[in-house]
Amino acid sequence: MSDGVEPAGAEGGESAGEEPAEKRVSYAEAFFDLVWALCITQVSGLLHLDHGWAGVGRALIVLIPVYWCWVGSTVLANAREIDHPPGRVGLFAIALCGLLLALALPQAYGSRGLLFGAAYLAARWLLLGQILWGRGVVVGPMGVGAFVTGPLLLAGGLVHGNARIALWGLAAALDLLTPRVARRQLMAVRFHPTHLPERFALFLLIALGEAIVSIGAPVAAGRALRAGETLAVAVAFVAACGLWWVYYNYAADAMRHAMATSRLPGDIVRQVLSYGHLAFVSGVIAFAGGVTAAATRPGHRLQTGSLALLFGGCALFLAAFGYTRWRMFRLVAWTRLVAAAVTLAATPLCAALPGAAALAVLAALLVALNLWEYQRVERSARHRV
């Protein structure tokens, strides 16, 4: 989490001891998120072009500032009332920067690096301006984006090759570290407990939507639709549904509960929502980057990079629940951690299988996980009666 806004008791916010009214996602915020859907698509496209470790690293370096811009805007909209004309204009101005980021992403390491850095810096300055516009505001982490990481990205856009990667990598690392370093300031922020979990859940839904596009769009664009491709798309969709179920059937409610009941909601925002959802989104983007090859060439073996993205992305998604559950409740998510380990172990075993068969193995693992958790919850509920 990379923003500081109004502290508890600040003018314009709730007074100390007063419960914040329930806040829901506005239509302006939902429209704003559509721009970031395009950014997710472009990052997934970078992975599709380069499945190697270097490609994964470059995709992560540009994903982090894109994601952190979204997080900053989301926290601002949570702690401030933005559903009025000036607030909407400010939000849409940041959305325009997001659109420019999306336009720059396909050639971010080539001819559009300067556009990427300039768009990020402009978004950071717009966020800082909206924070300074209010009173009683903790500027803190937002200033790092405007004065440090933003200029680093802009400078990276002016150089080429390894120099750009080094500057942008440093900026991404600083973006990640800033909320941890500024924890004391962020603890003073009063958050609306229902709004933020809903926004982050919707952002993850955007990433899952990109996975659906990656499954169906390349096959639909082909000249002929073969039975094998149709079957592969169906199996891939089952896998995507499995990922959806893992999060939205139980975890989404758990995160809302943790946010509403925690003595330190700022830590939930920082650790579970911001950092945890970066892992969730990264896992889904990796899954989307690998699923295209399996769906479009179901009868061929997957290349090592595609196979690693497909299974590794799912494993990262599942393992992230181990981190978030521990941060929320100091409990170990054994079933999901074991499922992540089994998914990783299955990766080399599926190297000799056609793409459709590898997808079927992955889908079966996710379905089995969800069935097991459902049965555990049902047994626990019967024992409590």
Query: Measured between alpha carbons, how far is 382 from 385 in angstroms, rounded to an integer?
Result: 5
Give me the amino acid identity at 105: L
Q: What pLDDT is stored for residue 3 in this prediction?
A: 40
Distance CA 92, CA 26 (A): 13
Which residue among 186, 212, 241 closes a domain? 186
Model pLDDT, residue 144: 85
Q: Is residue 1 a part of any domain in this protein?
A: no
In a domain, 9, yes or no: no
Q: Are residues 130 and 257 in the same domain?
A: no
- Two tokens, residue 183: 């924890």
Q: Are 331 and 305 in contact (CB under 8 A)?
A: no
Give pLDDT, residue 140. Answer: 64
Q: Supply the DSSP symbol for 105.
A: G
Interacting residues of 292 by C-beta distance below 8 A, sequence separation 6+: 48, 214, 215, 218, 306
**Same structural domain for residues 178 and 264?**
no
Quote the pLDDT of residue 223: 64
Distance of CA 64 to the CA centre of its chain: 9
Q: How many CB atoms lie within 10 A of CB 29?
A: 21
End-to-end, the C-alpha distance of the chain in Å comes to: 40
Residues 157 and 125 in one domain: yes
203 shares a domain with 164: no
Domain-located, residue 71:
yes
Q: What is the pLDDT of residues 280-295, one digit of tens each?
A: 999 999 999 899 888 8
The DSSP-derived string for 39-56 is: HHHHHHHHHHH--SHHHH
**Residue after which a domain boundary falls, among 160, 186, 212:** 186
* Number of residues written out for the chain: 385
With tokens 């000249």, the residue in question is 223
**pLDDT at site 295:** 86
In a domain, 319, yes or no: yes
220 & 364 share domain: yes
**Residue 269 β-bridge partners:** none
CA 120 to chain centre: 17
Q: What letter represents residue 45's amino acid?
A: G
**pTM of the full predicted structure?**
0.90
Of 66, 40, 60, 34, nearest to 145 by C-alpha is 66
DSSP assignment of 91-133: HHHHHHHHHHHHHHGGGTTTTTHHHHHHHHHHHHHHHHHHHHH
Domain shared by 293 and 152, yes or no: no
Same structural domain, 165 and 36:
yes
| pLDDT in the model for residue 220 | 73
> Could you tell me the two tokens for 76?
């601002």
Mark whether 181 and 204 lie in a shared domain. Answer: no
Four-residue CA torsion sign, 248, 333, 310, 174: positive
Max CA distance (Å), the chain? 66
Tokens of 125: 């300055």
Q: Is residue 3 part of a domain?
A: no
Q: Are residues 63 and 158 in the same domain?
A: yes
Q: Is residue 7 part of a domain?
A: no
Amino acid identity of residue 288, one-letter, is: A
Q: Are residues 70 and 162 in the same domain?
A: yes
Q: Comparing C-alpha atoms, which of 121, 63, 64 is closest to residue 94?
A: 121
d(CA 247, CA 43): 22
Domain identity same for 256 and 177: no
User: How far does Cα 17 stand from its chain's mean position?
Assistant: 32
φ/ψ of residue 354, rounded to 5: -60, 160
- Confirm whether 83 is domain-assigned: yes
Q: How far apart are CA 336 and CA 108, in angstroms?
A: 35
Do 350 and 262 fall within a single domain?
yes
- Residues facing 354 on adjacent strands: 301
132 in a structural domain? yes
In degrees rounded to 5, what are phi and psi of residue 189? Answer: -80, 135
Find the radius of gyration of the CA atoms of the chain: 21
In which domain, by residue range, is 32 found? 27-186
- Which of 125, 155, 186 is a domain's end point? 186
The structural domain count of the chain equals 2
Phi-psi region of 174 (alpha: psi -120 to 50; beta: other; left: phi over 0): alpha
pLDDT digit string (tens) for the chain, length 385 residues: 444 333 333 333 343 344 445 788 889 999 999 999 999 999 988 988 888 889 999 999 999 999 999 998 998 888 888 888 988 999 999 999 999 999 999 999 999 999 999 999 999 999 988 887 754 444 567 788 889 999 999 999 999 999 999 999 999 999 999 888 777 777 767 788 889 999 999 999 999 998 898 888 777 776 677 888 889 999 999 999 999 999 999 899 999 999 999 888 888 998 999 999 999 999 999 999 899 888 888 889 999 999 999 999 999 999 999 999 999 999 999 999 999 999 999 999 999 999 999 999 999 999 999 999 999 988 887 777 6
